[in-house]
Structure 1
Amino acid sequence: MKLAVIIATLGRREQLTRLLEYLGGQTRLPDEVILSAPDAAHVEVPKSSPFPVSLVFGPMGSSAQRNTALGSSLGRFDVITFFDDDFVPSAEYLEQVETAFAENEGWAVVMGMVVRDGAKNAGLTWEDAEVALREAKSKTHRGPPVVDHVGAYGCNMSCRSSMVGDVRFDERLVLYGWQEDIDFTSRLRSRGRVVCVTSITGVHLGIKSGRTSGERFGYSQVANPIYLIRKGSVPASFALPLMFRNIAANLAKSLRPEPYVDRRGRLRGNMLAILHVAMGRIEPEYVLKI
């Protein structure tokens, strides 16, 4: 199999450089790493690398940047792995992904288990990630080895190219996107299984730079799930509980917000989106006007 890694990045040159160096330690090297950014100011290609690194430039936003890279890679690779620029995979990650697809012809999407997620707290360091990966390797996972999912977590997900076809990330989910990963991979469930293989591990650092504002993100927390339900790509049984949990968290924590989360901004965005939905306006791209 030929395997490419796509990394959509924005404003994290140092982090991206470190990730590229780290990927050189994979037991199965990628056949190519494709960096997708709005322009060259966001990337720095290492002078030497054990694998080819290519650059593609296009419109800004998680969905748009992934589509830009996807368009140039589908016909050339059997497996396409998407990493966030702040995801730290285990050393065996790509080798295990290749094995998973080779041994399971009916699988369309494979994601690994995130053993620690800095998106849920103040964020993690590389040192935190390395410790977490060592601990995960030394422990035996007690749950099922393979778990089916509605969609995959975009910080680490791999797709079988032959099953992607004309499916693309929805560019109406602008900027940070929010659920564009679930939407994309959920649409692939009609072509094959979408699974998490729990022996494939990694850590999401959850770096806060390069993310959208609190108010914009809060708007997306409501508008995007409603849009995807209406679109039919994500079941209401998944999207609505997610939406209500986020609104409840923003409401409960707005009196004493965490220093690393703009809870009040998110709550304002939630309320504006709820008002728009009540008026019949379901426009994920409205965040560009906030």
Structure 2
Amino acid sequence: MKDVLVICTRNRSADMVRCLESLLQQRRMPLKVLVVDSSDTNETADLSEEFRSQKGLPFLEYVHTAPGLTLQRNVALRMVRGEFDVVHFVDDDVELEPGYIDELLNAFEKDASLVGAGGLIKGGNRTKASLVARLGGRDSVHPGKVLPTGFNIGAHETPFDVDVDWLPGCSMSFRLEMIDGLSFDERRVGYAIGEDADFGLHARTRGTLRHVHSARLHHHQSPVNRHKRPLIVRMAVAHRWSLAADHPVRVRRAMVVYGTLTESANYLLRFVVSRSHDRLWWECCVSGVAGLLDIARRRA
């Protein structure tokens, strides 16, 4: 099975070193590594050339693009379609365990209905679903689900294989023939929150998506290029509203509003009960409401 591993990156050359070093330890190497970079400097280009010419990755190809995660992913898809059977997308701040690629390819080879697969993510920050969060439509005891509110639940460290609705962007592989014609939504610009859930729901209409627990990686979650939490809360509201527009059977607008309001109420409660009245929770509460107001203004 011919496969290519894609790393979309921006200004994270230090994180890329660890990612590429872990790639060298794979039991089964991809036929090609494609680095799609939108950095402001030449550091990632120089690093890619070093690994290509000196450190054992002669099949590494580097390309520079305009910034934007969805744009970069689409550039990669256009470059690899028709040449490979499987594309692996991983983030630049992950560290692959030696069997990662081998286990994913085994899953594709064993199940012809498998359109996509992702691995077990260590460091995914997945916590046990509380009753309050479940009643608020923000969490579930079932891993890998996209809920009617638009909140997407990761499988992350689930210690068994399970079919899912979406694959996390730091660990998602697809059978290229089965996603022919699909692309990432470039209306989701910059940090492009939720592009993985949106693409996963589209891909799931073509076949099965699966969390493969034996394919393992560590997500170190680099602080570079990450937004502050209140801004992510506000952006997430727009993401969930977009899911309701594009996947109305799975996600419903009324439920998006409900989930956002219960989330804001939860942040408000945290602010009230915290001894120091941590303003982070207040800002997150306000951001959720602001996200709903953004939607209302656009619809007016």
TM-score scaled by structure 2?
A: 0.76
Distance (whole Å) between structure 2 residues aligned to residue 245 and residue 31 of structure 1: 47
Q: Give the superposition deviation at 1:89.
A: 2.0
Change (3 A) 1:269 1:193: same
Aligned to 2:203: 188
- Paired residue for 1:88, among 78, 88, 95? 95
Aligned length: 259
Aligned to 2:295: 277
| Unpaired stretches in structure 1, ≥5 consecutive residues | 121-142, 283-290
Whether the aligned pair in 2 keeps the contact of 1:214 and 1:263 (CA below 8 Å) is no
Written as runs of structure 1 = structure 2, the 5 A alignment for 1:90-109 is 90-109=97-116
Written as runs of structure 1 = structure 2, the 5 A alignment for 1:230-269 is 230-232=245-247, 235-236=250-251, 240=256, 243=260, 246-248=263-265, 250-254=267-271, 263-269=281-287
Whether the aligned pair in 2 keeps the contact of 1:111 and 1:153 (CA below 8 Å) is yes
Q: Give the superposition deviation at 1:248.
A: 4.8
- Paired residue for 1:157, among 141, 166, 172? 172
Q: Give the superposition deviation at 1:115.
A: 3.1
TM-score scaled by structure 1?
A: 0.79
Change (3 A) 1:176 1:257: farther
| Unpaired stretches in structure 2, ≥5 consecutive residues | 128-157
Written as runs of structure 1 = structure 2, the 5 A alignment for 1:136-215 is 145-215=160-230
After superposing the two structures, state which structure 1 stretch, 228-237 or 201-210, moved more. Answer: 228-237
Distance (whole Å) between structure 2 residues aligned to residue 182 and residue 233 of structure 1: 14
Q: Give the superposition deviation at 1:144.
A: 7.7
Q: Deviations over 1:243-268 (max 9, x none)?
A: 5675455444456599xx95555444
Bigger Rg over Cα = 2
Aligned to 1:115: 122
RMSD of equivalent CA atoms = 3.0
What code does the residue aligned with 1:270 have? Answer: G
Percent identical pairs in the alignment equals 26
Distance (whole Å) between structure 2 residues aligned to residue 257 and residue 24 of structure 1: 48
Whether the aligned pair in 2 keeps the contact of 1:6 and 1:33 (CA below 8 Å) is yes
Distance (whole Å) between structure 2 residues aligned to residue 234 and residue 16 of structure 1: 39
What code does the residue aligned with 1:89 have? Answer: L
Q: Deviations over 1:63-109 (max 9, x none)?
A: 11111112101221111011011122221010111111011100000
Q: Give the superposition deviation at 1:280.
A: 4.5
Distance (whole Å) between structure 1 residues aligned to residue 38 and residue 275 of structure 2: 32
Aligned to 1:53: 60
Distance (whole Å) between structure 2 residues aligned to residue 262 and residue 209 of structure 1: 20
